[in-house]
């Protein structure tokens, strides 16, 4: 359990960022890939990607998540090519935004090691410890780690007729075991997140069940990250194409925030920031930005 001595959930630390229980951080997606499922390579070019970093920071991003390999099927991308896409870029972002928390979306320990040396603060391992060295790499570099769930699938593999006795129990068991292993290897517990990893190794009903029962993962007291943005479970639930999934994404975001998730990986940063700010204000942990009504 990630608790203080008083039994309260721990703060989450990503670089200089501290996310306390009840607070929400937006993780902006920066894909250095020519074939990303949502933006179709819009930030593959170096300059466009740097401009997008500037934009999302202005829109309220707390963390940027930089990836060099498409999650799903596509052309083979080896470690050397992944680093060609990400290493110089991570270095440039760190130089351009010295205090910005940088996450790197990779399952390869060798890639994570190089990127952490260049300034990354968090390793977003979306493939559930497929490379057993990745937790040790995070520890060696004093970086954080995202512990995810894929139902045992190898990287870049889509699920097919996957089944669980209880998908939420499986997610809780897998992610907390990975978090505990990371702690044993020397990763600071305050720098570990768990991610139910919607769509990865799951069908739409599984992802809906995870969202509905997200409080069970939050109850483990490991800080929870959710990556909901424009995913297929949103598209299938509403029967809408990728370009029309923002409303469904924001609905799932609000439900997850109310359940206690702390970090939200998103394409649409401004809208996600506003939705989370509204939730925080309803909770009473954030005052309204202005208060004029009925006061004049």
pLDDT per residue rounded down to tens, the chain (296 residues)? 454 434 567 899 999 999 999 999 999 999 999 988 788 889 999 999 999 999 999 999 999 999 999 998 788 999 999 999 999 999 999 999 999 999 999 999 999 999 999 999 999 999 999 999 999 999 999 999 999 999 999 999 988 999 999 999 999 999 999 999 999 999 999 999 999 999 999 999 999 999 999 999 999 999 999 999 999 999 999 999 999 999 999 999 999 999 999 999 999 999 999 999 999 999 999 999 999 999 97
Q: Is residue 278 part of a domain?
A: yes
- Can you give the pLDDT at residue 235? 98
Q: How far apart are CA 296 and CA 289, in angstroms?
A: 17
The Cβ of residue 33 has, within 10 Å, a number of other Cβ atoms equal to 24
Helices (H), 29-133: 46-59, 79-96, 109-117
- In the chain, the N- to C-terminal Cα span, in Å, equals 49
Residues 6+ apart with CB under 8 A from 278: 254
Token representation of residue 186: 């020397």
User: Cα–Cα distance between 253 and 195 in angstroms, integer?
Assistant: 14
Determine contact, residues 62/97, Cβ cutoff 8 Å. no
H or E element at residue 64:
strand 63-67
Residue at 169 is within a domain: yes
Whether 198 is in a domain gets the answer yes
Bridging pattern class, strands 12-14 and 17-19: antiparallel
Expressed in percent and rounded to 5, the helix, strand and coil fractions of the chain are 40, 15, 45
Catalogue the active-site residues.
231, 265
Question: What is the β-pairing status of strands 63-67 and 102-105?
Answer: parallel
Give the pLDDT score at 7.
Answer: 58
Please check whether residue 167 lies inside any domain of the structure.
yes
Is the residue at 218 inside a domain?
yes
Domain hosting 126: range is 12-283
Q: Considering its fold, how many domains does the chain have in total?
A: 1
Alpha carbon 294 to chain centroid distance?
40
Collapsed DSSP state (helix, strand, coil) of residue 143? coil
Residue 272 within any structural domain of the chain: yes
Closest CA to 140 of 171, 164, 101, 113: 113
* DSSP designation for 38: T
pLDDT at res. 221: 95
What CATH number should be reported for the domain holding residue 139?
3.20.20.20
Residue 205 lies in a domain: yes
* Residue 52 covered by a domain: yes
């Amino acid at each position: 359990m990630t608790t203080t001595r008083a039994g309260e959930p721990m703060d989450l630390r990503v670089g200089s960022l501290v996310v306390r229980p009840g607070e929400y951080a937006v993780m902006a997606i920066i894909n250095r890939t020519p074939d990303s499922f949502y933006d179709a390579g819009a930030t593959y070019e170096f300059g466009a990607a740097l401009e997008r970093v500037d934009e999302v920071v202005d829109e309220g991003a707390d963390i940027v998540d930089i990836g060099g390999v498409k999650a799903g099927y596509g052309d083979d991308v080896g470690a050397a090519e992944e680093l060609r896409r990400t290493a110089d870029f991570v270095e440039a972002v760190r130089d351009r935004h010295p205090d910005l928390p940088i996450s790197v979306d990779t399952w390869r320990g060798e890639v994570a090691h190089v990127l952490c040396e260049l300034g990354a603060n968090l390793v977003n391992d979306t493939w559930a410890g497929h490379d057993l060295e990745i937790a040790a790499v995070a520890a060696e570099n004093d970086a954080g780690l995202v512990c995810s769930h894929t139902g045992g699938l190898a990287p870049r593999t889509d699920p097919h007729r996957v089944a669980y006795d209880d998908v939420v129990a499986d997610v809780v068991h897998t992610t907390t075991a990975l978090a505990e292993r990371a702690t044993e290897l020397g990763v600071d517990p305050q720098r570990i997140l768990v991610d139910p990893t919607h769509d990865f190794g799951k069908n739409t009903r599984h992802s809906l069940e995870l969202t509905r029962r997200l409080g069970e993962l939050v109850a483990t007291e490991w800080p929870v990250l959710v990556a909901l943005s424009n995913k297929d479970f949103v598209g299938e639930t509403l029967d809408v194409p990728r370009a029309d999934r923002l409303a469904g994404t924001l609905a799932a975001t609000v439900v997850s925030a109310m359940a206690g998730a702390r970090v939200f990986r998103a394409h649409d940063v401004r809208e996600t920031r506003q939705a989370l700010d509204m939730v925080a204000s309803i909770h009473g942990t954030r005052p309204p930005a202005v208060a004029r009504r009925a006061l004049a």
